[in-house]
Structure 1
Amino acid sequence: MRHRIVLQNITHSFEDGGMRRVVLDNLNVSVAEGELVAVMGPSGSGKSTFLSIAGALLEPTSGDVLVDGQSVIGKAHQELSDMRLHKLGFIFQSANLIPYLKVEEQLLFVAKQGGMDKKQATGRARELLQKLGLTHRRSAYPEKLSGGERQRVAIARALMNDPAVLLADEPTASLDASRGMDVVRMIAGEAKEQGKAAIMVTHDERVLPLCDRVLYLEEGRLVEH
């Protein structure tokens, strides 16, 4: 089983009023294909920093991040943008949909950015919308969707360019219990069916039984309890 994302000896620190503050301290984690890993920890423990580094949005002070065996450290801006487009799929707390684009257009926009052929993109978008139960909503604007539907569109958009890794930041925070479970079930299902690695930062203990592993961020490191 191959590891689709590996964080090796990640340290991240910054200067705060003349003091060096360490947020992540020699953190290590590997996530294999088909695996959904939950990351928990109190506010201020460094979860957002961890996710930003895993998603090539922030470069750590030291250490390495490998996505499909390729390091993201030290890459030029354009290379990082390409990697985020093709290798990493992001699902945020609020769906962050573009308000003036219909559901299907949200997906086609991402495909266009990734350089996908228009015919192929249309086929993939329709396949994903069908899979996530959104075919009947493909011509709806975000304001007409329920919270659960918006998050399903966000999952479809994250999957559009067939990334190696899915990164979810509190994806159930604005949803009730049953919709939250549905969303995490979909993320776990996609990871398993498509051989992706998925990392989800969450406070929602209700969804933990759907995860393969639960890690806690403590003193800058990830530990299993």
Structure 2
Amino acid sequence: MNNRLILRNITRTFRDGTANRTVLDQLNLEVAAGELVAVMGPSGSGKSTFLSIAGALLEPSSGQVEIDGESILGKSPDTLSKLRLHKIGFIFQNANLIPYLKVEEQLRLVASLAGIHKADAAYRARQLIEQMGLSHRSSAYPDKLSGGERQRVAVARALMNDPAVLYADEPTASLDSARGQDVVSLIAQQVKAEGTSAVMVTHDERILSLCDRVLLLKDGRLKEHP
């Protein structure tokens, strides 16, 4: 099985006053292509630190991170920036759409930054918009969309460059139960269809049945959720 995301023995220690505080302690995780893994944990358990390291935004104190078979540690900031653009997709709690861009333009901007040919970008954008059930909204601005529609645009945008790894940080926090289920169902479908390795940090127990595995971040390590 192709594991597109691997974290090996990840430790992250922060200086807290005069003492060191270990947030992640020999954490391990492998996520296969086409797998959606949910990570739960109380506030302060290290979920943000975990996502930052897995997303190439923060270096661990020790350990190894591999994305699509390539170690990302020790890379230059420019190399990491390109890796995030081409290999990683992020979905946040709030859609964070650009207010003056229409739905299709939101997606095509990402492709433009990545240097994707305009014709290929247009085809990919229209394909994702259709899969998200937003064809009738492709020319709408964010302020004309519902919360669920905005979050579906955010999912499409994160998938625009066919990332190897997808991270979702509390993607249902601002949605009601039905819309939250819809968004995570779309994420799960796209992950399967495109062979993406996906990790979703969430407190929302309503959507756990849509995930392949559920893990608990506790005492700096990931464990099977009881």
Q: TM-score normalized by structure 1?
A: 0.99
Partner of 1:222: 222
Q: Would you identify which runs of 4 or more consecutive aligned residues in structure 1 move more than 3 Å?
A: none
Paired AA for residue 193 in structure 2? E
Matched, 1:69 2:69: yes
Distance 1:117 1:34 in 2: 26
Paired AA for residue 92 in structure 2? F
Please state whether the residue corresponding to 1:133 is helix, strand or coil. Answer: coil
Give, in angstroms, the shift of residue 155 of structure 1. 0.5
Paired AA for residue 99 in structure 1? P
Partner of 1:52: 52
Distance 1:96 1:22 in 2: 31
Partner of 1:114: 114
Partner of 1:153: 153
Partner of 1:83: 83
Paired AA for residue 188 in structure 1? A
Distance 1:90 1:31 in 2: 16
Distance 1:129 1:51 in 2: 27
Paired AA for residue 45 in structure 2? S
Partner of 1:42: 42
Paired AA for residue 147 in structure 1? G
Partner of 1:169: 169
Q: How does 1:21-40 map to 2 (within 5 A)?
A: 21-40=21-40
Give, in angstroms, the shift of residue 161 of structure 1. 0.4
Distance 1:33 1:14 in 2: 32
Distance 1:65 1:100 in 2: 36
Distance 1:60 1:186 in 2: 31
Distance 1:162 1:195 in 2: 9
Give, in angstroms, the shift of residue 135 of structure 1. 1.0
Partner of 2:14: 14
Q: How does 1:93-104 map to 2 (within 5 A)?
A: 93-104=93-104
Deviation sequence 1:167-214 (CA, Å, 0-9, x none): 000000000001000111111111111111110000000000111100
Distance 2:17 2:77 in 1: 30
Partner of 2:203: 203
Please state whether the residue corresponding to 1:101 is helix, strand or coil. Answer: coil
Q: TM-score normalized by structure 2?
A: 0.98
Distance 2:40 2:94 in 1: 18
Give, in angstroms, the shift of residue 100 of structure 1. 1.1
Percent sequence identity over aligned pairs: 68
Give, in angstroms, the shift of residue 136 of structure 1. 0.9
Name stretches of at least 5 consecutive residues in structure 2 with no aligned partner.
none
Please state whether the residue corresponding to 1:100 is helix, strand or coil. Answer: coil
Please state whether the residue corresponding to 1:125 is helix, strand or coil. Answer: helix
Partner of 1:125: 125
Distance 1:73 1:96 in 2: 28
Paired AA for residue 86 in structure 1? H
Distance 1:24 1:143 in 2: 39
Please state whether the residue corresponding to 1:6 is helix, strand or coil. Answer: strand
Deviation sequence 1:5-26 (CA, Å, 0-9, x none): 0001000011111110110000
Matched, 1:192 2:225: no
Deviation sequence 1:11-62 (CA, Å, 0-9, x none): 0011111110110000000000111000000000000110111110111111
Paired AA for residue 64 in structure 1? Q
Distance 2:77 2:212 in 1: 33
